[in-house]
């Protein structure tokens, strides 16, 4: 396990995704004031002076980052989290069919397919060592689907933003902007998130990958001495 909170670079489709994912990380990874979560907004980059604005980048920018800039994020952070939604999978430049034999593909199938596409984009950067430090946040079909699951136990995957907006509008106007997402995610209790860690949804896959990479198995001290290293006292 990391002795102090690891630094995590977020590579996501957009700003609202960063807000959702950061809240999920906080639930899995309880911080202390002395040891806060260190998050870098690698893609899209957010200006610290105005954290509520960032261009919505989309999946093409995530692919581009994986192809050209991933090495930088790996060099300067303990962990790198790569997020992508599957809703645009059928786009010619994405290449993830959402159906097979006329039926919707299973979420594991879609998540594995998207992960393979991302790893292919990473090319030579996706070494075995790097993949130990890369967390995949593949949302079937969008991070709004995760919010629907956490808040309303809703598992239908079509039109997740419209569904979320419909639920939220009963309370207040809801737009795909930072503040509504910030307010919404702040309202979610850790327990409501953590109960999905073992769930059969893409959210469960992500939370399990996140937990595993945040607390990798320790090397027993005997192995350290064989490596010629002495365990720190």
DSSP codes of every residue in 69-116 = THHHHHHH-SEEEEEEESTTTTSTTT---SEETTEEPPHHHHHHHHHH
d(CA 211, CA 213): 6
pLDDT at 158: 86
CA quadruple 26, 30, 32, 34: dihedral, nearest 10: -80
Using DSSP, state whether 155 is helix, strand or coil. coil
Long-range residue pairs from 209-212, CB within 8 A, at least 24 positions apart, any chain: 209/135, 209/136, 209/137, 210/24, 210/25, 210/28, 210/29, 210/81, 210/135, 210/137, 211/28
pLDDT at 36: 84
pLDDT at 181: 94
Helix (H) or strand (E) holding 11: strand 7-11
d(CA 49, CA 151): 30
From residue 187, how far is each of 20, 78, 180 by CA, in Å?
12, 29, 11
Structure tokens at 104: 């919707």
- Decide the pairing of beta strands 103-104 and 79-85: unpaired
Contact 205, 108 (CB under 8 A): yes
pLDDT at 232: 47
pLDDT at 225: 46
What tens digit of pLDDT does each residue of 160-190 get?
999 999 998 877 778 888 899 999 999 999 9
pLDDT at 161: 93
pLDDT at 233: 41
Half-sphere exposure of 38 (CA within 13 A, CB side): 14
pTM of the entire structure?
Answer: 0.89
User: Mean pLDDT for the chain?
Assistant: 89
Q: Is 229 left (phi over 0), alpha (psi -120 to 50) or beta?
A: beta
Using DSSP, state whether 57 is helix, strand or coil. coil
Q: How many CB atoms sit inside 10 A of residue 216's CB?
A: 11
Helix (H) or strand (E) holding 8: strand 7-11
Those residues of the chain that have pLDDT short of 50 are: 221-226, 229-233
- DSSP-H helix ranges across 123-173: 128-131, 143-152, 160-169
């Amino acid at each position: 396990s990391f002795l102090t909170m690891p630094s995590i670079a977020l590579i996501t489709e957009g700003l609202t995704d960063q807000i959702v994912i950061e809240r999920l990380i906080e639930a899995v990874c309880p911080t202390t004031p002395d040891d806060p979560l260190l998050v870098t907004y690698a893609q899209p980059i957010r200006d610290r002076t105005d954290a509520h604005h960032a261009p919505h980048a989309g999946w093409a920018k995530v692919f581009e980052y994986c192809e050209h800039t991933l090495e930088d994020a790996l060099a300067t952070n303990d962990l790198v989290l790569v997020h992508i939604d599957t809703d645009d999978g059928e786009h010619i430049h994405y290449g993830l069919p959402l159906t097979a034999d006329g039926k919707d593909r299973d979420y594991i199938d879609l998540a594995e397919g998207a992960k393979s596409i991302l790893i292919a984009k990473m090319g030579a950067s996706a070494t075995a060592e790097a993949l130990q430090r890369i967390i995949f946040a593949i949302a079937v079909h969008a991070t709004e689907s995760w919010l629907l699951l956490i808040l309303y136990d809703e598992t239908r995957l079509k039109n997740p933003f419209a569904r979320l907006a419909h639920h939220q509008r009963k309370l207040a106007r809801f737009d795909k902007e930072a503040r509504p997402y910030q307010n919404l995610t702040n309202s979610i209790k850790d327990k409501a998130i953590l109960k999905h860690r073992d769930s059969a949804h893409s959210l469960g896959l992500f939370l399990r990958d996140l937990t595993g990479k945040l607390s990798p198995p320790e090397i027993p001290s005997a192995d350290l001495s064989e490596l010629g290293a002495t365990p720190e006292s």
